[in-house]
């Protein structure tokens, strides 16, 4: 990653860290960090250069996710979710003038994009919708009982899944981009959670009328989900979790080093536990990085992106990284002890621990494992060490 990008990400992380406790305590949107993301122009990173962005790849976005994850999990997750949506626009919207225009607006005006896939009656099953696009001429209307839209109240654009038309089966979906002034959002549920309190993943009744049909992405959502969303979600979430885990290990390291300085000539007993945590962190990093590399290699090969082997490896990255992140933060807490358990010391780990516990639950690992289980019924295997 370029030094410039590292510096910009670190400046945002400083702002995010300053407000992380109040975002968590009050369960409020990380407005200061998102304002800093806009100031540093990080919301348009992925937009192609011809539309005013920087044409950044997923690995660069992932690095920023990690940097932010070390400071404020909620800010990092908002940034990740925004870029997961932007990845879909960049991958599947280039053939549509309207969506190219939207990308230019995202870059120029630093618009924040949210996602509405979850729906009452369907739950978290991304690949089914009840609500439908109802077209009349060149315009359509859409109403959705969106039981979760993370930072829906703060977003400038929401990408919404819906059935192609009222007669279509629940799996025949499209993805539509709705601008803030084209829809009404009525809050139907609040977000009072153990951790990740700042993502404000509230429920809404979403209503949009008189929206031009050109705002419907030209590709079927099935293809968008398989070719850009699966990879970008699992890889960017995992990068956020890696950031949280590495922050916790840094706290533990600093604690152990303090002990060592107080008793020169001895290795503190907790150093062994630190060695275990550092080893786990390295394994987690290798998991995430190998996924990013594989994605970069497959990015322009639709057959590889839609292959069973690729889906299995991404599913594995999500389940592995999410479980490891929780384990690593818990190990760090064990090393730091009561200073980590308290909320008022430089070693406090309560907030990162509560935040990271969302990792195995956001798209429950069991759901992902059952999907993998199905795919393994036909995969043949025989992989090599240095290739897929």
Residue ranges in contact with other proteins by CB under 8 A:
127, 169, 171-172, 220, 222-223, 226, 302-304, 306-309, 311, 371, 374-375, 377-382
Q: Are 326 and 357 in contact (CB under 8 A)?
A: yes
Smallest gap, in angstroms, from Cβ of residue 12 to other proteins? Answer: 37
From CA 127, how far away is CA 372, in angstroms rounded?
A: 16
Residue among 170, 115, 101, 177 at smallest CA distance from 142: 177
Smallest gap, in angstroms, from Cβ of residue 218 to other proteins? Answer: 13
**Structure tokens given for 162:** 């819906």
Q: Which is nearer to other proteins, 282 or 290 (CB)?
A: 290
Smallest gap, in angstroms, from Cβ of residue 367 to other proteins? Answer: 12
Smallest gap, in angstroms, from Cβ of residue 171 to other proteins? Answer: 5
Smallest gap, in angstroms, from Cβ of residue 173 to other proteins? Answer: 10
Q: Which is nearer to other proteins, 29 or 221 (CB)?
A: 221
Q: Are 70 and 244 in contact (CB under 8 A)?
A: yes
Q: Which is nearer to other proteins, 262 or 380 (CB)?
A: 380
Cβ-proximal residues to 246 (8 Å cutoff; 6+ apart), any chain: 66, 69, 70, 281, 285
What are the b/e assignments for 138-149, b being 16+ CB within 10 Å?
eebebbbbbbbb
Cβ-proximal residues to 106 (8 Å cutoff; 6+ apart), any chain: 43, 44, 47, 53, 86, 89, 113, 157
Smallest gap, in angstroms, from Cβ of residue 214 to other proteins? Answer: 20
Q: Which is nearer to other proteins, 112 or 317 (CB)?
A: 317
Q: Which is nearer to other proteins, 8 or 219 (CB)?
A: 219
Q: Which is nearer to other proteins, 148 or 368 (CB)?
A: 368
How many Cα atoms occupy the beta-carbon half-sphere of 199 within 13 Å?
Answer: 25
């Amino acid at each position: 990653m370029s030094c410039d990008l590292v510096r910009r990400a670190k400046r945002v992380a400083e702002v995010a860290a300053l407000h992380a406790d109040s975002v968590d305590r009050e369960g409020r949107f990380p407005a200061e960090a998102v304002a800093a993301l806009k100031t540093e122009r990080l919301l348009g990173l992925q937009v192609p250069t011809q539309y005013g962005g920087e044409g950044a790849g997923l690995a660069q976005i992932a690095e920023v996710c990690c940097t932010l994850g070390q400071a404020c999990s909620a800010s990092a997750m908002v940034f990740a979710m925004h870029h997961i949506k932007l990845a879909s626009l960049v991958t599947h919207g280039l053939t549509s003038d309207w969506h190219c225009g939207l990308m230019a607006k995202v870059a120029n005006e630093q618009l924040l994009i949210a996602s509405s896939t979850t729906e009452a009656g369907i739950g978290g099953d991304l690949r089914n919708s009840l609500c439908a696009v109802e077209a009349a001429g060149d315009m359509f209307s859409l109403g959705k009982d969106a039981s979760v839209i993370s930072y829906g109240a703060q977003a400038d654009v929401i990408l919404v899944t819906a059935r192609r038309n009222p007669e279509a089966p629940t799996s025949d979906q499209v993805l539509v981009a709705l601008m803030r002034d084209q829809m009404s959002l009525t809050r139907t549920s609040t977000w009072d959670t153990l951790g990740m309190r700042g993502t404000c993943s509230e429920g809404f009744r979403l209503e949009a009328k008189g929206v031009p049909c050109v705002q419907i992405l030209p590709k079927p959502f099935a293809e968008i989900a398989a070719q850009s969303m699966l990879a970008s979600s699992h890889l960017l979430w995992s990068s956020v979790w890696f950031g949280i885990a590495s922050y916790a290990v840094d706290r533990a390291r600093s604690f152990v080093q303090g002990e060592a300085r107080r008793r020169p000539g001895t290795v503190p007993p907790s150093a062994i536990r630190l060695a275990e945590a550092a080893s786990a962190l390295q394994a987690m990093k290798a998991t995430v990085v190998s996924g990013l590399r594989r994605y970069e290699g497959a990015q322009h090969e639709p057959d590889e992106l839609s292959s069973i082997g690729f889906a299995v490896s991404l599913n594995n990255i999500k389940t592995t990284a999410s479980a490891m992140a929780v384990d690593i933060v818990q190990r760090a807490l064990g090393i730091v002890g009561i200073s980590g358990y308290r909320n008022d010391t430089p070693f406090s780990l309560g907030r990162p621990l509560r935040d990271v516990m969302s990792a195995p639950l956001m798209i429950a690992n069991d759901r992902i494992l059952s999907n993998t289980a199905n795919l393994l019924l036909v995969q043949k295997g025989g992989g090599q060490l240095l290739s897929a």
